[in-house]
Amino acid sequence: MKDPISTRDIGPRAGTPLWLYMLGATAAGAGVLAASLLGLSVDEVRALSLEPLTWVLLCMMVLGELRPVSLPGQPPGNGVPTSLPFAFALVILHGLAVAALLQVAATVVAGFARGHAPHRTAFNAAQYTLALGVADAVLRLTAPGLVQNLWFPSVGELLALILAAAAYFATNRVLVTSAVAMHERVPLRQVMFKGASQQAYVNAVLLSLAPLVVVAANHSVLFVPLFALPLWALYTSALLSVKRDHQANHDELTALANRKLLTLRARQEISHAQQRGGGVGLLLLDLDRFKEVNDTLGHPTGDRLLQTVARRLTHSVRPGDLVARLGGDEFAVLLPQVSDASAAREVASRLRGALAEPVRLDGMDFDLQASIGIALYPGDAPDFALLMQRADVAMYVAKADRTGVESYDPGKDRNSTARLSLYSELRRGLSEGALEMHYQPKVGLSDERVIGLEALARWRHPSRGLLTPDEFMPVVEQSNLSRAFTSQVLDVTLAHAARWHREGQDLPVAVNLSVRELLDPELPGTVAAALREYGLPSRQLVLEVGEHALITDTHAATEAVRVLRGLGVGLSLDDFGTGHFTLAQLAGLPLDEVKIHESFTARLVDRSDSGHTVVRAAIALVKALGMRATAEGVQNAELARAARDTGCHAAQGHHFSPPLSADEVTEWLAAHDGGTAAGTRV
């Protein structure tokens, strides 16, 4: 077992319990070594130094120190050193003084080679000396004269060996886990038994080789180096399995824990807290505007930025806290021991402070900002699943209200409570496939043939029935759910579109995009992948972008529209006439269609409103730009006629059909066969 204070080779602060402990242990080790050396005569030392076996064993021990057997859950390079069989063999052969002397020498050489801090090497050397000392004492008391008999040991002597090995293990374990417990500020009990069986197993394997080393060495020193082979096999296979274990539990890009490990650790910590009392804190952290960086500077830069974030977060928490990356720009920090919300808030503001330092990448400075949501066990949630959900809700509030940090607060005000529960319900709904798509036919005004369908989202809420977008789109747009939402909308819609396509209907299906969805750099990839998955030609899909989306961030939105155009999908400007979109802006966009908002359409038949002249002029311009105009909200024959006469190409509205479920669409299309719905003549 190695010194656990390894990931950061900084010594404990002077005066802390850990510092006192390490100092005390080191002094005790030095004392034991000095005392045992007193029993060694100069002649004995000279004789030993002339024996090749001494040097062979020392070499094996140095190599063994450099190649410890890795253990799961520990950083690579930490573990049980393969020098152990030789050190223990030296105890059997020559007693503590020689064993400790060579072990300390090997530890110092290896510590130097691995660049360990002196305090760490000193503690390691002392830890070995003390553990070997206890083993030596047990052996002397229970089986004096063992070396001579080792070729044919008695049952009693074998038991004495086992007892000494167990004493070595127990001493070493107590010494190391005490340091870990002080370092992580947790009760000794908690670390003492963590991974103890693995530790015991590896120690038993290594210690069991010691008597064989003694027997072999008594025969010929040439046998000793042969032990390198089984030890090497042990070392490499353990390393491999630990690496695999590490990969399964860590994020590849940042090497932080992944969601799986976070879940595991959080559950453990919650059960510890249940036993000893106290709280567990969970912080969820989402970077603000990270997408823009990714979008404008590309993924490699975005990746490096995420690595920087990971480093800063790791360095801002205490040992024992766990930083995890949940995916994208979402991180989590688990605080296994947190007294109250204000302590967790303090950590949160420390994290934000660490991120606020500008990051320099490719000669440019980035300002990073994050929104953090906090939830505590047991105050906010009784288990991990709810804790995650509550922290997520708090993060959502922090983002929406731009406050930076929020603790979970169920009783803030009714409005936000409703909004928050809607958010968690929608998150669950999306994961359970509660999103349905309805379709409204778009009808050509010259001959009343159906020329397309518009997909409109509906959410089947567990208690409130079928909800329309005005009830949930605000939540989608203001939260981190928009990506999941988009991919589900595309998934459901394209599955239906593919079915109609197979049935011989050549109807493009339009999907609406909110600003947030449009500006997501992953959108083009998602769209292309969905089209591929359902085997649909890209012209069968139309994307509708609202006028306000283009105004909010004209530059980025225009860019996004161009990228989507490159995929070959149809593009449509939605809700024309509601914002302040200028006709000049319209001219610069690669659009196929402009949809005239229902409020604008309504003005076509209002004779008292001189505004209808404006609408007419706008429609004329749309046509002049080579785009088609579609009138929305056409509720009656009069509006349909006016739209046709003004030059609109197509229309949508209750006059033709309300939005229909997928099955109703199939029926409606059959009834509408020939292109004209009964009773909807213009």
- Binding residues for ligand C2E, rule: CB under 6 A, are 440, 455-457, 468-470, 473, 489, 512-514, 517, 544, 574-575, 598, 632-633, 635, 652-654, 659
Q: Please tell me the distance from the alpha carbon of residue 442 to that of residue 77, in angstroms, as a whole number.
A: 66
User: In the chain, how many H helices and how many E strands?
Assistant: 28, 18
- To the nearest whole angstrom, how small is the minimum distance from the Cβ of residue 515 to ligand C2E? 9
| Interacting partner of 514 out of Ca ion, ligand C2E, none (Cβ under 5 to 8 A depending on kind) | ligand C2E
Per-residue CA distances from 255 to 65, 238, 248, 252, 316 (Å): 26, 20, 11, 5, 16
β 364-366/359-361 pair status: antiparallel
| Interacting partner of 659 out of Ca ion, ligand C2E, none (Cβ under 5 to 8 A depending on kind) | ligand C2E
* Nearest to 409, CA basis, from 333, 345, 316: 345
Q: What share of the chain is helix, strand, coil (3-state, %, to 5)?
A: 60, 15, 25
Map residue 571 onto helix, strand or coil: strand
**Of 183 and 291, which has the nearer Cβ to ligand C2E?**
291
Asked if residue 630 binds Ca ion (CB under 5 A), the reply is no
- To the nearest whole angstrom, how small is the minimum distance from the Cβ of residue 653 to ligand C2E? 3
| Interacting partner of 48 out of ligand C2E, Ca ion, none (Cβ under 5 to 8 A depending on kind) | none
- To the nearest whole angstrom, how small is the minimum distance from the Cβ of residue 658 to ligand C2E? 6
- Out of 3, 184, 406, 544, the only residue in the binding site for Ca ion (CB under 5 A) is 544
- To the nearest whole angstrom, how small is the minimum distance from the Cβ of residue 511 to Ca ion? 9
> Which residues, other chains included, contact 159 with Cβ-Cβ below 8 Å and sequence gap of 6+?
142
- Out of 330, 425, 448, 574, the only residue in the binding site for Ca ion (CB under 5 A) is 574
β 68-70/79-81 pair status: antiparallel
- Out of 407, 575, 644, 650, the only residue in the binding site for Ca ion (CB under 5 A) is 575
- To the nearest whole angstrom, how small is the minimum distance from the Cβ of residue 598 to Ca ion? 7
- To the nearest whole angstrom, how small is the minimum distance from the Cβ of residue 548 to Ca ion? 11
* Nearest to 325, CA basis, from 309, 343, 349, 346: 309
Q: Please tell me the distance from the alpha carbon of residue 516 to that of residue 303, in angstroms, as a whole number.
A: 21
| Interacting partner of 136 out of Ca ion, ligand C2E, none (Cβ under 5 to 8 A depending on kind) | none
DSSP structural state of residue 408 = -
**Of 153 and 469, which has the nearer Cβ to ligand C2E?**
469
**Of 404 and 474, which has the nearer Cβ to ligand C2E?**
474
Asked if residue 601 binds Ca ion (CB under 5 A), the reply is no
**Of 416 and 512, which has the nearer Cβ to Ca ion?**
512
* Nearest to 430, CA basis, from 500, 485, 359, 375: 485
Q: Please tell me the distance from the alpha carbon of residue 448 to that of residue 651, in angstroms, as a whole number.
A: 9
| Interacting partner of 456 out of ligand C2E, Ca ion, none (Cβ under 5 to 8 A depending on kind) | ligand C2E
Place of tokens 């579109």: 497
* 66's tokens: 């450099």
- To the nearest whole angstrom, how small is the minimum distance from the Cβ of residue 606 to ligand C2E? 16
**Of 254 and 488, which has the nearer Cβ to ligand C2E?**
488
Asked if residue 547 binds Ca ion (CB under 5 A), the reply is no
Residues found in the chain: 682
**Of 65 and 544, which has the nearer Cβ to Ca ion?**
544
| Interacting partner of 473 out of Ca ion, ligand C2E, none (Cβ under 5 to 8 A depending on kind) | ligand C2E
Restricted to residues 503-542, the positions that interact with Ca ion (CB under 5 A) are: 512
- To the nearest whole angstrom, how small is the minimum distance from the Cβ of residue 663 to ligand C2E? 18
Helical residues (DSSP H) of 39-154, grouped into ranges: 42-50, 52-66, 84-94, 96-113, 118-142, 146-149
Of the ranges 42-50, 479-487, 613-621, 626-634, which one interacts with Ca ion (CB under 5 A)? 626-634
- State the amino acid at position 431 in one-letter form: S
With CB under 5 A as the rule, give the number of residues binding Ca ion. 5
- To the nearest whole angstrom, how small is the minimum distance from the Cβ of residue 473 to ligand C2E? 6
Of the ranges 126-134, 323-331, 552-560, 625-633, which one interacts with Ca ion (CB under 5 A)? 625-633
What angle do helix axes 52-66 and 96-113 make, rounded to 10 degrees? 50
